[in-house]
Structures are given as C-alpha cells and as structure tokens.
Amino acid sequence: MNLELNFSVLESTPLFGMIAIRNDLFDVQDMLNRLHPPRADWYEEFYASALDKGMKSYEAEIAGCDNGVRVFGIDPNRKLEKYARAAATAAGLPPTNFKFIQAVAEALPLSDASVDAVVGTLVLCSVTDVDMTLKEVMRVLKPGGLYLFVEHVAAKDGTILRFLQGVLDPLQQTVADGCHLTRNTGKYISEAGFSIVDINMAFLSSALFINPHAYGIARK
C-alpha cells in the first residue's frame, strides 16, 4: 500500500462538487465496518507508522502528484491520514486540494463519472473483493478516465518464489492488514471491462518476495 495515497482520485472541478455519499445504494460506513472491521488502535498506529518508515525505497519508484489537481486519499485505516497529508504536502499539493476519506475501495464515496483518474498502488492485494473494487473504479471514472496502477502479483507457477509466496501468504495476510501474495491481479484488471488496458511487469529490488509487479494504465 502506497503511503502517499493508498487509493486516490484526481479531479479538476471544485472540491465540494466531488463528494457524494451514495446512500441510495449502500451505506459507506456500514461497508467499511463489514469489510474492514475496526482494529485495535495500537495496531493501526503501528501498521501506519511501519509503512511510512519502511516503504521509502519503494515510494521512490512511484511518481508523485502534480500541482493543480485535487486529490482524495481513500483508505480504511484512519491512522494513515497524517502520513498521506505529509506526503501530499511534500509533493507540492496545496492542503486545500487534498482530502482524506476513511472508506473501503469496494464502496468509494464519490459520484458516478466524477473523476478524471484513479491511482491505486498496492491496493488490490488487500481488498476483500477485487471485482467489486474494479467496478467502483469504473463507476467513478469519467468517460475516457484513466486508472493508473501498481500492484504486486503472484509469481509464475512452478517457481521457487511462487512456492514461498504460497507458504507465506497466510502470515502475510495476518501481519500486513489482509495483503495477499498469490493474487493474479493483472488478470482481474484485464477482465474488468476497461476499453484499453496496458499492463507491464517488473521486479522491484526493494520488494523481496513481494514480486513481480504489474503496472500500467487502463482507460474507461
């Protein structure tokens, strides 16, 4: 999960025009509680702090946000807000152009066709429902909108790395807030219904057994 913005949406219209809780379809807070039940306060603080300190080399490989955009950072862990705000400020984003929302990716609290881009870095590994998450991405994107992603995926079947991922997967889910090592995330993205999907693969030296990574751009 990206410490700057675990799940973010970019838009060029006024900030107040972006928020729309879709009470007619679901209760965002209820979805949050069902899919990501509250953790102990010490655990959420520890996990958020560990991510902030431990992912610097990884984040160095991810591009930051440009000035002039409005960003919503979305994550179920409320403790990430202070780190996300600090990262947004460090990237040159004015404080008034950034808003953190505690929510799950399966229920994005944004209007239909309301954002120009969705940026997800290490998100789909830990969501409860990958298909629902990608449907939400499609829903909030404007026609022609972009989904930019970096996700770690399962290694090739039959490799030592894939074997290790299978062994470590249960532990990873426990200590890393639901993160799965063995998801074929690229396949999910390719089959989500985007008009164009450009996926590339890479191994990151800072990610150890959390490799390879699928990165690219999908257009609604």
- Does domain 7-219 correspond to CATH entry 3.50.50.60? no
Residue pair 1/92 in contact (Cβ under 8 Å)? The answer is no
Q: Give pLDDT tens digits for 166-203.
A: 999 899 898 888 899 999 999 999 999 999 999 999 98
Residue 17 confidence (pLDDT): 34
Structure tokens at 80: 């990430």
Report residue 9's pLDDT band, with 50, 70 and 90 as the boundaries: low
Report residue 51's pLDDT band, with 50, 70 and 90 as the boundaries: confident
Burial label, 84 (beta-carbon count in 10 A; 0-12, 13-18, 19+): buried
What is the rounded average pLDDT of the residues 71-82? 92
The Cβ of residue 70 has, within 10 Å, a number of other Cβ atoms equal to: 22
pTM: 0.70
Residue 11 has pLDDT above 80, yes or no: no
Residue 12 has pLDDT above 90, yes or no: no
Q: Which residue has the higher pLDDT, 155 or 20?
A: 155
Residue 65 confidence (pLDDT): 44
Structure tokens at 121: 């870095």
